[in-house]
Chain A
Amino acid sequence: MPTLIVCEHCDTVYQRAPLQPGQRARCLRCAAPLYRADLAPPALLALTLAAAVVFLIANVFPIVSLDLQGSSSQSTLWGAIHAAWDSEVGPVAVLVALTAFFFPLLQILLLGAVLLALRRGGLRRSLLVDALHSLRFLRPWSMVEVFLLGALVAVVKMGALAAVQPRPGLYGFAALTLLLTALNSFDLHRLWECLDE
């Protein structure tokens, strides 16, 4: 019954009504957002490609550099993961690697693949189904925005100890945060509907 929509938060049933751009439908019973007028898939694809480029920049360049009595150090995200691993807190290193690196990367790749496949076909339906399920699973565990705030806190904390300078990687993460926030506000149910069309 594709014309019906059920609120995930309270089980109330609604008849779907068309929305104007920028509008969103809210549940009358529990006030949870139901659905919204979203970006069209081509715009989403453009955002996804931009996110892929920015992801590369954010991870290739160091995030911050530090000068202390003539010696200096700098680190990328991957450097931080490596250092946490060497610091005998392996589980923490794994968690940082997953939430700040692998999950966001996987999100970008899967979303790009799904959008391209919906546009020109070619991918098996069962693969698309798996990709969309994975995207739903990844969403809460992808934490680029939290990592960005963490980097800013780290910069200030070290400022007391040494001369700290932000590096291009930090700006990369700022841009990536904006792009992923836009991508994550997209309603994945829309893509499931595209699958049927």
Chain B
Amino acid sequence: MSSAAGLPRAADLGLLSCLACGLVCRALPATAAPHCPRCHAPLHRRKPASLSRSWALLIAAAVLYIPANLLPIMQTSTLLYSENDTILSGVLTLWRSGAWDLALIVFVASIVVPLLKIAALATLLLSAGAHSRWRRRERARLYRLIEFIGQWSMLDIFVVALLVALVNFNSVAQVRAGPGAIAFASVVVLTMLASMSFDPRLIWDEPQTGSRA
């Protein structure tokens, strides 16, 4: 992108932008902890400790991803049978019942998206930590994609909560939520927090400019 190469960046011009309200201020070297004059939010050149915070949250999410997929997220019991559903077996049940389109949606939202988020965030964190110049525009786009799709992984949590409320016919048929639901919900929240902690401006920082997180 030769046209973008010459564009000035706030950090180089001695400017600070407020992430909360968008106001652009001049960075005064005298003030140790500057605050936005309009909204009083603390101003930082880059989000503080962005990489280490993001790594910590991401690793926690990756660890919980295992019980989230192995433990049952819901238990269905009827007069004839009782079965424990993990996320994957729930998708398979949907598929076999003929609702392949919904099976696909749940598969993408519950299995592909969390995995993709963890892998993509790890890539972003590694490459930003190394001040890599590799495919910056694509990495910037990847980050925006992660931010956009993050909340859709909550889908299965809502499905389980509704099924538990509705399928409640005592001995005839009953659905209960399982411990996997807690692990899965934690994964969704942790990956969202991890992507919020990451500062996408680090993608564009050269080694000498921009404070390391």
Contacts and interface: CB of A to CB of B under 8 A. Distances in A.
Interface of A: 1-2, 4-6, 8-13, 28-32, 63-64, 66, 68-69, 71, 73-75, 79-84, 87-89, 91-93, 95-96, 99-100, 129, 132-133, 136, 140-141, 143, 146-147, 149-154, 156-158, 160-162, 188-189, 192, 195-196
B56 interface: no
B80 to A, nearest CB: 11
Nearest to A160: B97
A28 B3 contact: yes
Contacts of B185: 91-92, 95
Contact of A192 (B15, B39, B179): B39
B62 to A, nearest CB: 19
A11 B172 contact: no
Interface string B1-45: 101100111110101010111111110000000000011110000
A154 B24 contact: no
B184 to A, nearest CB: 9
Contacts of A64: 162, 166
Contact of A129 (B9, B40, B210): B40
Most interface-central of B1, B3, B164 (chain A CB within 10 A)? B164
Query: 5 shortest A-B CB distances, which residue pairs?
Result: A150-B158, A6-B17, A83-B165, A189-B22, A192-B21
A11 B201 contact: yes
Nearest to A189: B22
Contacts of B9: 10-13
A64 B162 CA distance: 9
A87 B176 contact: yes
Given A10-B140, A13-B15, A189-B22, A66 B158 contact: no
Given A13-B10, A189-B22, A75 B166 contact: yes
Nearest to B45: A11
B118 interface: no
B39 A133 contact: yes
Interface residues of B, number: 76
Contact of A96 (B19, B157, B192, B210): B157
Interface of B: 1, 3-4, 7-11, 13, 15, 17, 19-26, 38-41, 78, 93-94, 97, 99, 102, 105-106, 109, 136-137, 140-141, 143-144, 147, 150-152, 154-169, 172-173, 176-179, 181-182, 185-186, 189, 192, 196, 200-201, 203-204, 210
Contacts of A75: 162, 165-166
Contacts of A140: 147, 150-151, 192, 196
Given A91-B182, A146-B152, A160-B97, 10 more contacts: A6-B17, A10-B200, A75-B166, A84-B161, A91-B185, A92-B157, A92-B177, A132-B21, A150-B161, A192-B39
A32 B39 contact: no
Contacts of B136: 30
B20 A136 contact: yes
A10 B162 contact: no
B53 to A, nearest CB: 16
A147 B192 CA distance: 17
A63 B166 CA distance: 10
B140 A32 contact: yes
Given A92-B181, A192-B38, A8 B162 contact: no
Contact of B19 (A2, A8, A161): A8
Given A9-B200, A12-B7, A153 B155 contact: yes
Contacts of A132: 21, 39
Nearest to A152: B102
A129 B39 contact: yes
A6 B3 contact: no
